[in-house]
Structures are given as structure tokens and as C-alpha cells.
Chains A and B, each alone.
Chain A
């Protein structure tokens, strides 16, 4: 377990709720419900879940980049001491990139194909730090070097299509860190990459976190990745946080049946002789969530108490679980 800074967290998300409007005659639909977590300095937080759980929406909501039709209806996002919810887009524009940055899954598509990568990185520096053109260009080369791109001066003049997938992701990281933000949100940054390249990019993120003191929130669906690089984990299902724990505690004693199910679904050598473990049913689509425990319909431990909405309760050394039957089941 690494030593995360015990000082005030860099990012505090409290009871964040996001809804999507559906037009006249329909009430708004919940997309995220009461999402809360902290991110400390030098901490890698894993936000894990399957499709439709809201993990990407959470990062977009924090950044103020929700698509049209979705809005934050309640809750707060504190970046240091500053509240982000409710700010105007101009103010958010000044904060994004400067104090909090985000990288996305498909790096090659997130870069502008018409401009050299050095130019794109420099542009970020110029906008937020008011650097001169020359200083910004130097900064861009410095960043490319930092993320491990060889012959940075030369490659800064190249275009995105001249870089491979893994290299593009490094460029994205360089661009995100150009202005020295405290927090980095990484939305499935390695999902589209080959496994050997993934290992390198994860290693890079870890190293940068150490050297620059970043707080990184890593959104992923891959529990292996979480086990390898994360310190704390938040498990999401159907727009809610269902479990939170330190990574070792989560893997050793998962509290929530969904977490147990996810861990059980990982293929292991014993599955050569036994059927693979699945969670019955399928991930419910938006709008199809039940009003009580949202995992209820798929849970093998479902009871009557699960028909009512469930709150997050403390569990384990530092974690919490949203389950009324925790402690009785699995564990």
C-alpha cells in the first residue's frame, strides 16, 4: 500500500446527481444518483463498472462536459476548496486543463488530425499560462519527453496519424499535463490498446503520479488493471456507487454481491474444469432501473428488504457498501 497523502483531498465529489431530460410529459431520468468519493494527492483511484453504470458520466460531470440534455441536479464537486458545480462555462473553461484534466479512451480520435502534436500541446499551455509561442513550444517538447516519446523535438512536428495508438495516448497525457494540473481523470485510457502497450501506459501513469504528485481517477472495466495500479476502488452499478474500499480489501473481502460477482467472473485456471461464473441477467438499460436496490433483480441473495432504496453503509477497514445483507452473504 502506498502512502497517500493524508492532507485534504484534491477532489471531493459529494452526492452528485445527474439527470437526463426526456421532453414534455416525461419526468427526468436518473443517470447518476448520490455519487460520492474523494481523491487524494498521489492516489490512484479506480472507478470500475460495466457499460451503463455511469463511470464515464461521472468524469464528464466533474469536468462540466456533460452532453446536451444531461445536467447535474444536485451534489457538489470540490476541486481543492473550489466548488465546480454551478460555475459558468467560461469559468470552467479556465479551470479545465489548468487544474484538472481528462484523457479519453480513443486517443487517436481525440487529437486534431490537422495540426502537429507539438502545436496542440503548446496551444493548451498558451491558453492557460499565457506563454509566448517559443516558451510554449519548448514546454510541449518537454512534455513529450516526460511521457517517454523518443526524439521529442522531431516528433513534436509530426501529425497524429504518424503515431501508433500507444504513442497517441502518451501525447494525450502530455497535453493533459501541460499546465501542471493537480487532478487527472483517465477514462478507459488503455481499453483500446494492446496488452503490452497497456502495461507501458499504466506504468507511465504511475511514474508521473509519483513524480508530479498527481491524483488520478482511472475509469475502467478491467479489474486486472485496478489490481495492478490502483490504491482505492469505487465500484459503480446502474448510476450508483455500490462499494468503496482500499484495493486489497476489495479483492480479499468484497462486500457487495455485485463486486463478488464481478470478481467471480474473471476467468481463472480452475475454470478449465468448471463452468465460468456469471451474474444472471444483463446490465439494465437506462430507465430500466428498479426503485429499490438496483442490483436486486440480478442478485441471488435478494430479499424483501431489497425492495426499498439502500443507503451506503460503512464496511471493512475504510470502505462502504450499499447492501442491506452485507456481512451475511459471501464475504
Chain B
């Protein structure tokens, strides 16, 4: 039987034909225009708040009696509140407070939730079971109620309120980190690195966490939105920001007090909160879709 001649091992195909450029997840994200636009907003808004001191914005605490409860004019783009303070300025300076608070809350949740989640995902059944029970217990309490309780113990103030919100959000992060860690731990490349002699710490740091980070990023973006809303709610109820500090939540409360006299006042802070929430959700969706599309790093191309 005649068979093909012996062939040498050097491929005669030029290398470019065989290698497929990797579609990075960043690229996949950017290609989703809505999510990208949302990200732009999500970056622009805090940037504006942070740079408020440099931008040509009025003094948020300056009370100008003549324009009390004024509607948008060329001087006051978003009008003025009941004490004559410029709404745009208050929105931007207040935004600093709100957004920083949201980052604090999410930070607390990540610092508490992720290590506990990774521990639950990688340690034995008992540890996992105990942690799950604790987290379930935390989650079964209505979030704001839990926040009240913590604030009640620690005292009012924005930092305490955000600590409370962070604790409330911890179970979700724990869950996401746990399932991510568990899934990655079962992958063959973890076994391969173990076989090569990797220590558990190196495995965790170099291999498990980077690969489990996708869902965590999604969770972070959703949680920022939640934290903003939570801050607004708590400040609205007087448990968060204390006067004279302003935040979006306190602005909502103040405009709520005068809503009978002027219904415009509530619009700027509400729109700001809603826009942030929408933007974070869209960004989260975008990250999740980009991760799903990249197929978790497997070889692309249709199976024929």
C-alpha cells in the first residue's frame, strides 16, 4: 500500500496562517457601543465631581437670596435651591461625597466578601457550609433594615452608614467569589501548575484570582449602583450625611421638603442617581457579555 512519504516536522505553513489573534476581552467590551457609552458617562461624571474645584463652578455654599428656588438660568444652569445655592455646584460637590461613599461601601464588601468567598470555594465542606449559613443569615435581613441596625449601633454619619452598606453587600461578593474560585479550582491548568510544584498561595494569586475576576468585576459595577442608591436612601432618612455636608441623598431630602413649592428641585439629584445606576448596570452587562463572548479563553472558531 502506498503511503505518503516521510515528512519532516517543520510546518510549511507560514506562521501567520495558523495563529489567530486573540480577541481580548477589552476589545469585546469596547465593541458593545452602549456599554462603552455608559462607561464614558461613568468615568466622566466622577471626573467632573473631582475636578469641581478647578472647573468654572460656583461656590456650593454661597447663598444668594435673590435666586431662591430659581429655575435654570444662564447663571444657574440647574437652578438654585431654597437657600439660593447653585444646584449644579452642589450636585458636583455632593457627587464627590456620594461616589466616594459608594466606593467605600464596595471596598468594604470586596475586602470582606472576596477572601471569605475564596476560602469557601477552596476549603473543605465544613468551612463552606459554615460560611454559607452565615451569609444566608446576613442576606435574609432586609438590607436597609440591617443598615439601620448597624448605624444605630455605631452612630450616624456617612462613614458608618457606608460601612453598614458594605456589610450588607458582602454576601453577594462572597457568593460570586466562591463560585468563581470553585470553578477555576477544577480546571486542568490548576492541576498542571500543582504538578509543576506550585504552592497553594501562588496558585491562588497567580492562577485562581485572575481567572475568577470576571464575574467579580461585573458584581462590582452593579454594586456601585446599589451603593449610590443606598447612600441616597440613608441620607434621605437622615442617617447618612449630616448637615452641612451635602450629597445627592441629602439634596433629594431637601428638595423633597420643598416639593410643594417647587417641583423642579428634585430633578437634578434624582436624575444624577438614576443615571449613575443605569450606567453601572450597563457597564456590568457589557463586562459580562464580553466575558461570555471571549469563551473563557478557549480556542475560537466554529466547530465543524
Contact = CB atoms under 8 A, between A and B. Distances in A.
B304 A280 contact: no
Interface string A244-255: 000000011110
A36 interface: no
A56 B304 contact: yes
Given A282-B18, A284-B17, A330-B2, A53 B7 contact: no
Interface in B277-304: 301-304
Residue picked from A20, A52, A55, most chain B C-beta under 10 Å: A52
Given A252-B1, A257-B4, A278-B9, A285 B20 contact: yes
A31 interface: yes
Contact of A51 (B1, B3, B18, B304): B304
Q: What bracket does the count of chain B residues touching chain A fall in?
A: 20 to 34
Contacts of B301: 52, 285-286
Contacts of A275: 6
A51 B18 CA distance: 14
Contact of B304 (A53, A279, A298): A53
Given A252-B1, A263-B4, A281-B11, 12 more contacts: A52-B304, A55-B304, A263-B1, A263-B3, A277-B6, A277-B7, A278-B9, A280-B8, A280-B11, A280-B12, A286-B301, A330-B2
B13 A264 contact: no
Interface residues of A, number: 37
Nearest to B20: A285
Nearest to A54: B304
Given A20-B302, A57-B304, A300-B7, A331 B2 contact: yes
Interface string A49-90: 001111111000000000000000000000000000000000
Given A281-B12, A281-B18, A282-B11, A274 B6 contact: yes
In the A-B complex, the 5 residue pairs with the smallest Cβ-Cβ separation, listed nearest first, are: A281-B13, A264-B3, A264-B4, A281-B11, A261-B4
Interface string B1-42: 111111111111100011010000000000000000000000
B12 to A, nearest CB: 5
A260 interface: yes
Interface string A261-275: 101110000000011
Interface of A: 20, 31, 51-57, 239, 251-254, 257, 260-261, 263-265, 274-275, 277-282, 284-286, 288, 297-298, 300, 330-331
Contacts of B4: 257, 260-261, 263-265, 277, 279, 300, 330
Contacts of A51: 303-304
Contacts, number: 78
Contacts of A260: 2-4
B21 to A, nearest CB: 12
A297 B17 contact: yes
B22 to A, nearest CB: 13
Nearest to B9: A278
A264 B4 CA distance: 6
A269 B13 CA distance: 30
A20 to B, nearest CB: 7
A239 to B, nearest CB: 8
Nearest to A57: B304
Contacts of A57: 304
A277 B13 contact: no
A297 B304 contact: no
A284 B301 CA distance: 10
B302 A286 contact: yes
B16 to A, nearest CB: 9
Nearest to A282: B18
A254 B11 CA distance: 23
Contacts of A265: 4
B247 to A, nearest CB: 44
Contacts of B13: 280-282, 284, 297-298
Contacts of B302: 20, 31, 286
A257 B2 CA distance: 11
Given A54-B304, A286-B301, A286-B304, A278 B7 contact: yes
25 contacts: A51-B303, A52-B303, A53-B304, A56-B304, A57-B304, A251-B1, A252-B1, A260-B2, A260-B4, A261-B4, A264-B3, A265-B4, A274-B6, A277-B4, A279-B7, A280-B8, A280-B10, A280-B11, A281-B13, A282-B11, A284-B17, A286-B304, A297-B12, A300-B7, A300-B12
A177 B17 CA distance: 43
A265 B303 CA distance: 22
Nearest to B3: A264
A10 B304 CA distance: 25
A26 to B, nearest CB: 14
Contacts of A300: 4-5, 7, 12
Nearest to B12: A280
A281 B13 CA distance: 5
Nearest to B16: A288
Interface in B106-140: none
Contacts of A20: 302
Interface string B158-177: 00000000000000000000
Interface in B57-101: none
A277 B6 CA distance: 6
Contacts of B304: 31, 51-57, 239, 286
